[in-house]
Amino acid sequence: MTLEAGTILDALKKAVIECSEPEAVAAARLALESGLDPLVAIEQGLAVGLKEVGEAFARGDVFLPDIVMSGETMKAASAILEAELKDRPPGEGRRVRTAVVGTVRNDIHDIGKSLVALLLSCSGWKVVDLGTDTSAQQFVDAVLVSQAQMVGLSSLLTTTAPEMGRTIAALKERGLREQVAVMVGGGAITQTYAEQIGADAYGVDASDAVRKANILVVAP
Amino acid sequence: MMLNPLSQPQLEEIHGFTLEILQKTGVKFEHEEALRILGDAGCDVDAEKQLVRFPPALVEECIRRVPSSFSLRGVERPHDLQLGGARVTFSSGTAVDILDTRTGERRAPTLRDALDFIRVIDGLDRIHHIFVPFGVLADKPKEVAFEWQTALTFRHAKKSVGHGVAFPGCAKWQIEMADVVGAQMIAGAGAVPPLSYSFAMADAILRFSRTKHCVSVSQAIACGATGPVTLAGTLIQGNAEIMAGITLSQIVSPGNPNMYCSYTAPLDMRTGGMAVGAVESAILGAAVGQITRFYRIPGRTLFPQVNAMLPDQQSGIERAIQLIMTALGGISIICFAGQIDDEKTMCFEQLLIDHELAGMVARVMEGIDFSGAARAVDLIHEVGPVPGNFLVKSHTRDNWKKEHVLPALFNRATFEQWYAEGAKDIVAVARERAEQLLAEPVPESRLPKDMDDELTRILAAVEREKGPAG
């Protein structure tokens, strides 16, 4: 690695840690101009910065707004770098874990689920967010299309919690249950309930969900 | 006594920015009929985006239509609920689990637990209203838990104005049951922040407004996630959300009772959980109360809430600060008694402690009587310096009950008395009292047989339509 490449990677990392989108974007452009491999720029620059922020968050040194803004900064710079990766043959692009998340049918509560989606992105996941009031079939379809390794189901209401069990059954029926880990969470959910319906994990809150997701599906 | 955290110009700014947000950015309604109704009333509707932009004059006209005070019919006439004006009333809360008084375990509640809560609350004179106690019951299909508890409340409680819920498929049955017993409900329907109404919530507004039940329109912002992190921004966005719902309600049912309801807490920036016990919720409670007085629309809160897991010091401090601030703000009905751990657990010990707290707060609200008799200047002249004694004067005997509230539960004994009686903390005292109340025989249904039979028929129809638990 040339000294210049090292300097650019440091700049990418620092921009993510400091949530500075203009600096991240400038460093990404510089990376491309100086012929640095975009994949290296993402994985050894931006992602390293985000990982440090994630570790500081786990220690309680930084807070949700910090990690979310670091994620946004990384997204902006990644967009520039990933545009250069489009034409690479499959398998040579960035390898990421994919999660499908959504609030189950008849439930429109959004906060917890959206936070999990944000934190998963920050933790390096590709996230397919199906929004709220999502049917079992929509979850199944999304897993098929995205080839996700994890499904996150959210329900605040006690009346809609049984939909989680139905979604797990639908994944089984389509033969997808073995390929995805299922995480559940939300106001109406407890560890016992998660075990009863055959989920792999229960996320107490957004941070806990991401911690458990990273154990269930190890980064490539 | 009232607390005014906002100035008059600030209240007017909240109103002005609300009209601006409703007109410029608008509110999403995921409900075709609601979009049509709002369009017909003069709103600018983008059907594809389901977005409604409100003309300020329409919003202001609808706000004017909301009655400033009203009475909701209870199952029994003396227990009609008066809302609006300076009086604060208290309601029980609602939750998922129960903290079992006998075993100390947290577990799923049964129909019998729901009945126990309903009959105990009905006997507490400082709690005026009963909320459906639980979300699900261990011994009933999940889909019919609300209807079963609504029927239980109507059957066993004197002070039951029902509580409607905006869950899919619930409203129509609750309305049928309320019709049978002739009670009016407070139906909760809330915006999904930011600036949206789901199908179920918009549907509940239409259904309950048309059947002349009181529609309580709520904002439920998580400050920093679904609304601004700042308290001022939260109040403005929340006001816009509530006024959009009230406008819809008043278009379909002009002059029908509405309540202005707040259900707002900061996001905990360490976990992403809701910091319901936060002191910011207390400041918001006072400010929302003041806003409801500004609009002359009776206010309701589903706070205080706590993050505490037990009826411990944390629970006591979190709820007491929120309760006193919210009441002093001028909220008309405060729904809170008995709930701990967010809205996740109901607890008899907490319910009895909350009954005590409600009595204290109601006394605070009465403030200071400064009439001639209360000033007692002649008496002060008469009794004069030591060894004067006011206890021997009839003025004391005539007035003390108006001035002092006695605790129903809290301890005022000396150390020796307290020690001799077992040296119990207040939770243990509350537990003993709860055990006494629960040991009393369960009363039969209070309803005449024909009404009771009708509720049985409706419950059978609910179960036929919704089927067994999935």
- My answer on whether B306 and B200 are in the same domain is yes
B470–A63 CB contact, under 8 Å: no
pLDDT score of B113 more than 90? yes
Q: What is the pLDDT of residue B368?
A: 96
Q: What is the mean pLDDT of residues B261-279?
A: 90
pTM score of the predicted model: 0.89
At residue B149 the predicted structure's pLDDT band, cuts being 50, 70 and 90, is: very high
Q: What is the pLDDT of residue B110?
A: 95
B226–A187 CB contact, under 8 Å: no
The answer to whether residues B33 and B18 touch, using CB atoms and an 8 Å cutoff, is no
- My answer on whether B257 and B194 are in the same domain is yes
pLDDT score of A187 more than 80? no
Q: What is the mean pLDDT of residues B340-354?
A: 93
B398 lies in which domain range?
372-403
Q: Is A136 touching B (CB cutoff 8 A)?
A: no
Lowest-pLDDT choice from A81-95, B10-24, B230-244 = A81-95
Contacts with B158 (C-beta within 8 Å, 6 or more apart), sequence order: B74, B75, B76, B78, B79, B122, B446
In a domain, B59, yes or no: no
More confident residue, A209 or B358: B358
In a domain, B244, yes or no: yes
Tens digits of residue pLDDT in A60-92: 899 989 988 998 899 899 999 988 887 776 566
Q: What is the mean pLDDT of residues B2-21?
A: 97
- My answer on whether B240 and B378 are in the same domain is no
Q: Is A216 touching B (CB cutoff 8 A)?
A: no
Q: What is the mean pLDDT of residues B286-315?
A: 96
Lowest-pLDDT choice from A90-104, B186-200, B328-342 = A90-104
Distance from the Cα of residue B363 to its chain's centroid: 19
pLDDT score of B272 more than 50? yes
Q: What is the pLDDT of residue A120?
A: 86
A112–B192 CB contact, under 8 Å: no
Q: What is the mean pLDDT of residues A187-211?
A: 86
Cis geometry, peptide bond prior to residue B387 (ω within 30 degrees of 0): yes
Tens digits of residue pLDDT in A131-173: 888 899 999 999 999 999 999 998 876 667 788 899 999 999 9
Q: If you count DSSP H runs as helices and E runs as strands, how many of each does chain A have, helices first?
A: 10, 5
Q: What is the pLDDT of residue B433?
A: 95
pLDDT score of B394 more than 90? yes
pLDDT score of B286 more than 90? yes
**Dist. CA B120–CA B140, nearest whole Å:** 22
- My answer on whether B326 and B394 are in the same domain is no
pLDDT score of A1 more than 80? no
Contacts with B321 (C-beta within 8 Å, 6 or more apart), sequence order: B279, B282, B304
Q: What is the pLDDT of residue B469?
A: 43
Q: Which residues of B touch A157 (CB under 8 A)?
A: 135, 167
b/e per residue B185-206 (b: at least 16 CB within 10 A): bbbbbbbbbbbbbbbbbbbbbb
A 88-117: CB under 8 A from B:
106, 108-112, 114-116
In a domain, B348, yes or no: yes
Q: Is A64 touching B (CB cutoff 8 A)?
A: yes
The answer to whether residues B26 and B195 touch, using CB atoms and an 8 Å cutoff, is yes
In a domain, B240, yes or no: yes
- My answer on whether B378 and B262 are in the same domain is no
In a domain, B28, yes or no: no
3-state secondary structure of A58: helix
A111–B470 CB contact, under 8 Å: no
Beta bridge partners of B265: B222
Q: What is the mean pLDDT of residues B189-195?
A: 91
- My answer on whether B210 and B278 are in the same domain is yes
Summary mean pLDDT of chain A: 87
Closest residue in B to A62 (Cα) is B270
Domain boundary residue, one of B319, B343, B366: B366
Q: Which of B203, B131, B210, B220 is nearest to B169 (CA)?
A: B203
Q: What is the pLDDT of residue B108?
A: 87
Does ipTM top 0.90? no
Which long-range contacts (C-beta less than 8 Å, at least 24 apart) are formed by B80-83?
Answer: B80/B161, B81/B128, B81/B129, B81/B159, B81/B161, B81/B333, B83/B214, B83/B257, B83/B259, B83/B298, B83/B332, B83/B333
pLDDT score of A202 more than 50? yes
Q: What is the pLDDT of residue B266?
A: 95
**Dist. CA A220–CA B444, nearest whole Å:** 64
Contacts with B326 (C-beta within 8 Å, 6 or more apart), sequence order: B282, B285, B286, B288, B289, B301, B303, B304, B334
At residue A104 the predicted structure's pLDDT band, cuts being 50, 70 and 90, is: confident
Q: What is the mean pLDDT of residues B161-171?
A: 71
Q: What is the DSSP string of B233-247?
A: HHHHHHHHHHHHHHH
pLDDT score of A122 more than 70? yes
Tens digits of residue pLDDT in B409-452: 999 999 999 999 999 999 999 999 999 999 999 888 989 999 99
- My answer on whether B233 and B377 are in the same domain is no
- My answer on whether B324 and B397 are in the same domain is no
Q: What is the pLDDT of residue A51?
A: 84
In a domain, B338, yes or no: yes
More confident residue, A179 or B135: A179
pLDDT score of B167 more than 90? no
A132–B273 CB contact, under 8 Å: no
Q: Which residues of A touch B227 (CB under 8 A)?
A: none
- My answer on whether B168 and B229 are in the same domain is yes
Q: Which residues of B touch A60 (CB under 8 A)?
A: 270
In a domain, B414, yes or no: no
Q: What percent of chain B has pLDDT over 90?
A: 77
At residue B160 the predicted structure's pLDDT band, cuts being 50, 70 and 90, is: low
pLDDT score of B166 more than 70? no
Q: Is A158 touching B (CB cutoff 8 A)?
A: yes
Q: What is the pLDDT of residue B470?
A: 36
Domain boundary residue, one of B342, B366, B390: B366
Q: What is the pLDDT of residue B305?
A: 93
Q: What is the pLDDT of residue A98?
A: 93
- My answer on whether B197 and B248 are in the same domain is yes
- My answer on whether B376 and B361 are in the same domain is no
Domain boundary residue, one of B366, B389, B419: B366
The answer to whether residues B54 and B23 touch, using CB atoms and an 8 Å cutoff, is yes
**Total domains present in chain B:** 2
**CATH number of the structural domain spanning residue B260:** 3.20.20.480
Q: What percent of chain B has pLDDT over 70?
A: 97
A39 exposure class (CB count in 10 Å sphere: 0-12, 13-18, 19+): middle
Lowest-pLDDT choice from B144-148, B305-309, B327-331 = B144-148
- My answer on whether B178 and B309 are in the same domain is yes
Query: What are φ and ψ of residue B442, in 5° steps?
Result: -75, 125
Beta bridge partners of B215: B187, B258
Query: What are φ and ψ of residue B159, in 5° steps?
Result: -95, 35
At residue A191 the predicted structure's pLDDT band, cuts being 50, 70 and 90, is: confident
In a domain, B25, yes or no: no
Closest residue in A to B272 (Cα) is A206
A60–B270 CB contact, under 8 Å: yes
Q: Is B160 touching A (CB cutoff 8 A)?
A: no
**Dist. CA B345–CA B279, nearest whole Å:** 21
At residue A107 the predicted structure's pLDDT band, cuts being 50, 70 and 90, is: low
At residue B159 the predicted structure's pLDDT band, cuts being 50, 70 and 90, is: confident
A159–B136 CB contact, under 8 Å: yes
CA distance to partner chain A, nearest, from residue B226 (Å): 7
